[in-house]
Amino acid sequence: MSKETRHAEVVGAGFAGLTAATVLGQKGWTVTIHEKSAELRPLGAGIVLWNNSLQVLKAIGAYDALEPRSMVPPFYETRSQNMTVSKETFDGLPWRSMTRKALHEVLVEAAAKAGVELKVDSEVVTADPSGSVTLASGEVRSADLVIGADGVLSKVRDSIGFEQTRTKSRDGITRLIVPRNKELLGPGEWDNVIDFWNFEPRVLRVLYVPCNDDELYIALMSPVDDKEGSAVPINLDVWVENFPHLEPILTPAARIHGRYDGYQTNVLDNWTNGVVALVGDSAHAMCPALAQGAGCAMGNAYTLAVAASTSTGDLAADLVSWEAQERGITDRCQSRSAYFAETRSMAKGNQFTTEMLETAIYDPTARG
């Protein structure tokens, strides 16, 4: 195939797959995304993005659509037993909060505009390093580049047999979108992100993230082995007993079924094999503490697509170079996130030091 007509098969229409596909489409590739679900929709509830992914959204022309659908909370506040221990502003570093639905919709729009073909109900069951995917229907499709952006349970990864170590953490979380109900919460700085940690009488935490005027993202953390704390729908009595001042938002939360997810860290020996590259949670799933899973996914998806597009010779070798370029910063982000999950030390506040913000500050679009 000539350079102008290169073709990519992208597996998974999450934040990583949509970003990579959009960049490739904008650079003149033909691209097909396979999404196994029957409809295009995001998993989860709300999200915080930082400079790294916001720069990617600007570079692909999706930022302007997202801006009015997201917000910048004035402070990132941490409380321990409801006492404020820190209020951080990150020295002007760009960050925003939003629903996952808003982010997903602007990415789908950007992909469609870039000419990407989006196929739903299209599950990929295996991939081959020489450049093909096999669908559940039996159809085999070849491509110059295959991207496995199919999440933490990646079939692209597992069918090829990438080596990995997988570590589960002792905590997990239920994530929900509820109405803001600001007036019912009473006086207070309810536009802040507020990370409420309780260690007494038991370990429970509410991460409060306003996403816009109407919607609030709450993440309710408890140890995996706390049956009451991790129950879904949430056990309203337990949560209100521990966070009585949050009753106006916990009550609607208890009406949603929700899902409790344990944290997990996957570290792979390699992210590429032949012309198959893994990106996002399939390659580097991480604990959520630094709110960088999607940020790393979108940043790496962007640089992967740029590397593939500028490759004029040996694409497999250029993918290896791409991995070498991004690997260190992603590995460090994963291990810092795992450290915070393990120690629960975010409860101390002031956790967002320059070192901990390394990935957030990074600009993947400045690499060319």
Lookup: tokens for 62: 């999706």
Distance from C-alpha of 45 to C-alpha of 63, rounded to nearest angstrom: 20
Is 289 near ligand 5PR (CB under 6 A)?
yes
Is 17 near ligand FAD (CB under 6 A)?
yes
**Other C-beta atoms within 10 Å of 30: how many?**
18
Is 333 near ligand 5PR (CB under 6 A)?
no
Is 357 near ligand 5PR (CB under 6 A)?
no
Select from 131, 210, 258, 295 the one that contacts ligand FAD (CB under 6 A). 295
In the numeric block, the tokens 């609607």 are attached to 252
Between the CA atoms of 221, 222, 225 and 228, what dihedral angle is there, to the nearest 10 degrees?
Answer: -110
43 binds, among ligand 5PR, ligand FAD, none (CB under 5 to 8 A by kind): ligand FAD
Among 11-19, 75-83, 284-292, 322-330, the segment contacting ligand 5PR (CB under 6 A): 284-292
Select from 176, 207, 268, 304 the one that contacts ligand 5PR (CB under 6 A). 207
Is 62 near ligand 5PR (CB under 6 A)?
no
123 binds, among ligand 5PR, ligand FAD, none (CB under 5 to 8 A by kind): ligand FAD
* Window 112-151: residues binding ligand 5PR (CB under 6 A): none
* Window 97-136: residues binding ligand FAD (CB under 6 A): 123-124
Select from 23, 30, 36, 176 the one that contacts ligand FAD (CB under 6 A). 36
Is 323 near ligand FAD (CB under 6 A)?
no
308 binds, among ligand 5PR, ligand FAD, none (CB under 5 to 8 A by kind): none
x/- track of binding to ligand FAD for residues 248-277 (CB under 6 A): -------------x----------------
Instruction: Please provide the DSSP assignment of 82-142 as one string.
Output: TEEEEEE-GGG--EEEEEHHHHHHHHHHHHHHTT-EEESS--EEEEETTTEEEETTS-EEE
3-class DSSP assignment, residue 269: coil
- Could you tell me which of 280, 283, 254 has the C-alpha nearest to residue 266? 283
Strand order in the sheet with 272-273: 117-119, 30-34, 7-11, 145-148, 276-278, 272-273
Q: Which is nearer to ligand 5PR, 116 or 206 (CB)?
A: 206
Lookup: tokens for 289: 């503490």
Q: Which is nearer to ligand 5PR, 207 or 249 (CB)?
A: 207
Query: For the chain, what's the residue count?
Result: 368
Select from 150, 171, 318, 326 the one that contacts ligand FAD (CB under 6 A). 150
Beta-carbon contacts of residue 311 (< 8 Å; ≥ 6 apart) = 318
Distance from C-alpha of 96 to C-alpha of 357, rounded to nearest angstrom: 14
Query: How far is residue 281 from each of residues 24, 156, 180, 197, 267, measured CA to CA in Å?
Result: 20, 12, 30, 27, 10
Is 291 near ligand 5PR (CB under 6 A)?
yes
Lookup: tokens for 117: 């073909």
The binding site for ligand FAD (CB under 6 A) comprises 11-17, 34-37, 43-44, 47-48, 123-124, 149-151, 155, 173, 175, 219, 261, 280-281, 288, 291-295, 297
Contacts with ligand 5PR, residue ranges (CB under 6 A) = 48, 173, 175, 207, 209, 219, 288-289, 291, 346
